[in-house]
Amino acid sequence: MDVIGTQIGNYKIVSAIGQGAMGYVFAAEHATMGRRAAVKLIREEHGKNSEISARFVNEARAINAIGHPNIVEVTDVGLAGDRRYLVMELLEGETLEERLVRLHRLPPEHALHIALQVSDALAAAHDLGIVHRDLKPDNVFLIERGGREDYVKVLDFGIAKLIQEETAPQAANLTTPGMVVGTPQYMSPEQCMADEALDHRSDIYSLGIVLYRMLTGVLPFGLRPTEHAMRYLFAHVNKPPTPLRTVVPEITEHLEEAVLRAIAKDPADRYQSMRAFATALASESEVPSVALFEAALAAPSHLDAEDAASVAPEAGAASSAATRLARVVLNSIHSGRLALPSMPGAVLQCLSLLRQPTHTVKELAEVLERDPIVAPQVLSQANSALFAGTARMRNIEQAIGRLGERALNSLLVEVSARRLFESRNLAIRRAFRELWDHSVAVGIVARSLAQVRGHKDIQLAYLAGLLHDIGKPVTAAVLLEAERVSGRPAKAWHSKEAWLDMVSQCHREVGFAVARAWQLPDEVLFAIARSDRYSLQDELSPVNLVCLANALVKREGIYPQPVSLEAVDAIIEEGKRLFQLDDAMLERAMAQLRAHTMHQATVVAESSR
């Protein structure tokens, strides 16, 4: 390709990775940061095709809206001349198609491990009304992540479509009526007939076909991969699938039934949700009681002690159970069956008032004065070292006047978040006491960095830093509550190691869900989802401020767990280049944290006298 060695956006194109009908994918490096990424560039002949360009933009929007760890991350979208491009995380591994060409078929436990991750990702997409419409082995990428083999990344949402067209007509109307879109070997019957009423059940069918091939090594209608597309279209609509056990007798009857139901011709005969399909598949895997755990979260009063005993596998399976049960927590969050922690009533009322242009300070004060817990904290903050003036504030109305609306907004969210870290549950308090101090410190340093860099909204940076780990105590509380209502300890998540393993696996998505339920700004949501690495899409964003602040605070020793100083220093050096900071600027940014730490130590000393 003639683009090798050239620069597209902020990226220098290094080498070609692959190509498809719409475009090419290249390995690339950020021109200043040196970070590697994948750049997907539309074909030159399609550059002026408005529909294909719209699909590129739709892919970026769809992926960012879903925000699921099993979906490839898109960090930027742009225009190079008249050709659209996407910047994505660079994946190292192989596609499921390459794996199947090499091995022919997979053992059932491996196939289920992959299928369950795909189902998680697509269920999250379906929650937002997004249908992938082109699920196939080429679009399932297998990598190693955190020591876990065959970690799935679902690719290519380029022809994804929103079901709820009235909410996003610009994203929905990307195909001409009657146009067949997809890959013939894996298309649902309704896709083959260009049915405009196509919905999420089409993806269930496609995943069923993919799983059929993983388990048997062949496609379900006795056709060769090289058959003409029309023969596949006809088979999907008219031909009954060959039973799986006819091809591979050792496949269980239950698994065969699950796959055949997923690929039923009539959408009404299939599983009616991706999670229902996943639940049927999960019962085949090494932790057969995941469905019971899910029941504990959805309707805990119906799970008795005898059922609870079967939830926990033997100790040797604890790590696997952690992964599986963490998935159940996320499924419960995505499906809306798990109640998320709410804010205090006074906080909700005040935040609602702050969003109304006609509110008054008196109205805010009247609401806060009725809450004996929140009101003293507002008064105390107004008289703290950060806001202290010449006179001491003696009532809430004065305190609000000194704080200002932005600082008051942040404080109210902080009060709500602190309750989660200071849970009534002793185990949660012990596990996350120091984590709250860490979160406050990250917020303070993120705010200081925003000041040093002249960021327009320093309070937003503070909130993003303060809440970046909010999902940890919430996830822990969910797991402990499920254990409590089940009537007896569950070994799979009872040990501290397994418990914290599950927390680490899903706290970002849980925190994201809490922040979204609290109607917090998008920048806060993104910081929760991605504060462990820099985003090159918006270099001066709060996400990046929090990433650098997090590393600086860890280097300062304010973190409850051991850290790799080498990794922390690498993040700091990358942040210094990104924000163009020298050591003196970093020292200024850390000054507020050290002043806060000294103030807290003084308060503790005085209270102990």
> What is the separation of C-alpha 293 from the centre of its chain, rounded to a whole number of angstroms?
22
User: How far, in Å, CA of 87 to CA of 537, rounded?
Assistant: 9
Instruction: Look up residue 71 and give its DSSP letter.
Output: B
Please name which of 100, 119, 139 lies closest in space to residue 207, comparing C-alpha atoms: 119
- What region, left, alpha or beta, does residue 67 occupy, with left being phi > 0 and alpha being psi -120 to 50 degrees? left
Do the beta carbons of residue 86 and residue 74 sit within 8 Å?
yes
User: Which alpha helices (H) appear in 316-425, and where do they start and end?
Assistant: 318-335, 345-354, 361-369, 374-382, 396-403, 405-421
User: How far, in Å, CA of 79 to CA of 48, rounded?
Assistant: 11
Instruction: Look up residue 355 and give its DSSP letter.
Output: T
User: How far, in Å, CA of 6 to CA of 80, rounded?
Assistant: 11
Do the beta carbons of residue 476 and residue 499 sit within 8 Å?
yes
Do the beta carbons of residue 473 and residue 420 sit within 8 Å?
yes
Burial environment of residue 427 by CB neighbours within 10 A (0 to 12, 13 to 18, 19 or more): middle
Query: Catalytic residue at 307?
Result: no
User: How far, in Å, CA of 193 to CA of 289, rounded?
Assistant: 39
User: Which alpha helices (H) appear in 7-157, and where do they start and end?
Assistant: 50-66, 96-103, 108-127
Do the beta carbons of residue 507 and residue 472 sit within 8 Å?
yes
Q: How many helices (H) and strands (E) does the chain have?
A: 27, 11
User: How far, in Å, CA of 68 to CA of 593, rounded?
Assistant: 33
Q: Which of 76, 120, 127, 134 is catalytic?
A: 134
Which sequence positions are flagged as catalytic? 134
